[in-house]
Amino acid sequence: MKGHNNGEFSLDEMPPGTWAEVVRVDGPLYWRRRLYALGFRPGVSVYVEQTAPLGDPVQYRVLDTWFALRRQEARRIRVRHVSRPSNP
């Protein structure tokens, strides 16, 4: 994972088996609304489950729901690594 001064990463940088907390979602308004509706909102915990055999898409758990996002989509979600979820 590429570190940043404020401890933020893009979700696509998180390895499988780790938890993250959403900090913000970047991109056009329609894209942010779509991801917010799926549960990718600031403060929400995300579990990185697994990657597809060719590395894309990646499966994530958000609010007890599983989603598969392409790495290009996950790159717009800014997160910070957490050891335990605040809302699994």
How far apart CA 76 and CA 29 sit, in angstroms, is 12
* pLDDT tens digits for range 53-63: 887 899 999 98
Describe the chain by its helix, strand, coil percentages, rounded to 5.
20, 40, 45
Q: Decide which of 3.30.1490.150, 3.40.50.1100, 3.40.50.261, 2.30.30.90 is the CATH code for 8-82.
A: 2.30.30.90
Domain ranges in the chain?
A: 8-82
Residues 6+ apart with CB under 8 A from 2: 9, 13
Burial of 88 from C-beta contacts in 10 A (0-12 / 13-18 / 19+): exposed
pTM of the model: 0.83
Alpha-carbon dihedral 52, 47, 83, 72, rounded to 10 degrees: 60
* pLDDT tens digits for range 12-40: 999 999 999 999 999 999 999 999 998 99
